[in-house]
Amino acid sequence: MFNKVLIANRGEIALRIHRACREMGIKTVAVHSTADAAAMHVRLADETVCIGPPAARDSYLNVAAILSAATITGADAIHPGLGFLAEDADFAAAVEEHGFTFIGPSAEHIRLMGNKVAAKDAIRKLGIPTVPGSPGGVCDLATAEAAASAIGYPILIKAAAGGGGRGMKIAHDRSELAHMLPIAQHEAASFFGCGEVYLERHLERPRHIEIQILGDGRGGIVHLGERDCSLQRSHQKVLEESPSPALNTAERDRLGTLAVEALSELGYKGVGTLEFLYQDGEFFFIEMNTRLQVEHPVTEMVSGLDIVREQLRIAAGAPLGYCQADIKLCGHAIECRINAESPDTFAPSPGRITGWNLPGNIGVRVDTAAYTDYIVPPYYDSLVAKLVAQGRDREEAIARMRRALEMFVVEGIYTTIPLHQRIMNDPDFIAGKVDTTFLQRFR
């Protein structure tokens, strides 16, 4: 096992990784920007290195500074967390070239899944259904029109280097496609540095269901069930739960088995998530994430496994040591993302937290790096806490979440707690009937 791990991230996820390291007897190195000098992950780490000014590109994305920090502190491995450099194949390769272990999948697998066209192609060839779409990328209008009439309108134009829904464009007919294609290509080039786009049939009311996979890269591979992430706003997840209220046991087993078989054939090492759209009883693969995800705690609550601990063990070369039959998924868990935002307009609300009281009790978990008098900086994403409630069934999880939200006090900044309180009392949410249009009703 590693002696010392450098955590190349900030906020609650840096602290989450720190906790797993401590429990395994691993020393931690925190890196931080000048804006995060007083952050909790910095206070708790064994060693700290300031790697640059507030702007992420100069600090948390500064590969040279991070590698230097690992060298001077004598770290064995680097955990990228999520966001920032977590899905940067060049970073993963650079970490390994400098003699450190990258805590994540191989650079090749990160690169493959980073191009959404290549990823879809690879996953389809491994026997998983994908959304009907163009056979590959589309460069010109003639190819796009031919593909679109084969698929059928409405069509979604997506960026090959995008993902997470950013930069998607819808076209209802031929003339809209002609208008949107160059706009989508231009945006893809300027946002993601690659102008390649592809087409997909636009599903009108899908649910977003993702499967959590753990592979040791030497034959051991399991899934930990699914998460339903259908509640999103501007492609930001707002609330996640496991299991999905939309799936029955047979569908769960089928999807899990398909995912495990596919990634087993790929020889996948690390944690990963296969994202699907689910509509009218059918699953369609859309993307794979090759990182730890924000919403991993809901899976931990129902599986009892510490996913970050598993990441560290796998990266250190240990075998999984258990098989699918050993995985027992139990009860129901819901995660509410508590953001420093206005609950109505979603405008960011950085600033000093003047009052702070966390809920607790059985089945309630809070992942956060905030504390009384902590100043939420304006430079990074607005997540201040993840509130997770678990119960023997969905009803009990909702009851615990409702009570926990009531007892979660945050003063000095606006948060999305009131939004979650309204969701927990919504009849459609309570009935498990949510789709992509759900959050619009809360405006």
Phi, psi angle pair for 223, to nearest 5°:
-110, 155
Does 342 interact with ligand MV4 (rule: CB under 6 A)?
A: no
Stretch that binds ligand MV4, among 49-57, 227-235, 241-249, 309-317 (CB under 6 A): 227-235
**Closest approach of ligand MV4 to the CB of residue 230, in Å:** 5
Closest by CA to 338, choosing from 260, 419, 227, 411, is 419
9 versus 134: smaller Cβ distance to ligand MV4? 134
For ligand MV4, which is the closer residue by CB, 131 or 222? 131
CA 238, CA 240: separation in Å to the nearest integer?
7
171 forms bridges with which residues in the sheet? 155
The rounded distance, in Å, linking the Cα atoms of 62 and 45 is: 20
| 291 among known catalytic residues | yes
- Chain centre distance of CA 348: 20
Helices (H), 285-363: 296-303, 307-315
Our finding on whether 169 is near ligand MV4 (CB under 6 A) is no
Rank residues 169 and 202 by Cβ distance to ligand MV4 and give the closer one.
202
Q: Interface with ligand MV4 includes 154 (CB under 6 A)?
A: no
How do 364-368 and 383-391 pair as beta strands? antiparallel
Binding of ligand MV4 by 206 (CB under 6 A) = yes
436 part of the interface to ligand MV4, by CB under 6 A:
yes
Q: Closest Cα to residue 131, out of 204, 231, 64, 213? A: 204
Residue environment code for 393-407, b if the CB has 16+ CB neighbours within 10 A, otherwise e: ebeebbebbeebbee
Q: Helix (H, G, I), strand (E, B), or coil: what is residue 198?
A: strand
Of residues 311 through 330, those in contact with ligand MV4 by CB under 6 A are: none
Neighbours of 320 (CB within 10 A): 18
Assess 134 for contact with ligand MV4 (CB under 6 A). Answer: no
Q: Is 161 in the site for ligand MV4 (CB under 6 A)?
A: no
Could you tell me the smallest distance in angstroms from the CB atom of residue 435 to ligand MV4?
A: 7
Using rule CB under 6 A, residue 114 touches ligand MV4: no
Asked if 200 interacts with ligand MV4 (CB under 6 A), we say yes
Asked if 29 and 5 count as a contact pair (C-beta separation under 8 A), the reply is yes
Binding mask 234-253 for ligand MV4 (x = CB under 6 A): -x------------------
Positive/negative CA dihedral, 17, 21, 22, 27:
negative
Name the residue whose CB lies closest to ligand MV4.
Answer: 165
CB of 205 or CB of 422, closer to ligand MV4: 205
Question: Which residues contact ligand MV4 by CB under 6 A?
Answer: 131, 156, 164-165, 200-203, 206, 208, 230, 232, 235, 277, 286, 436
Residues tagged active-site? 291
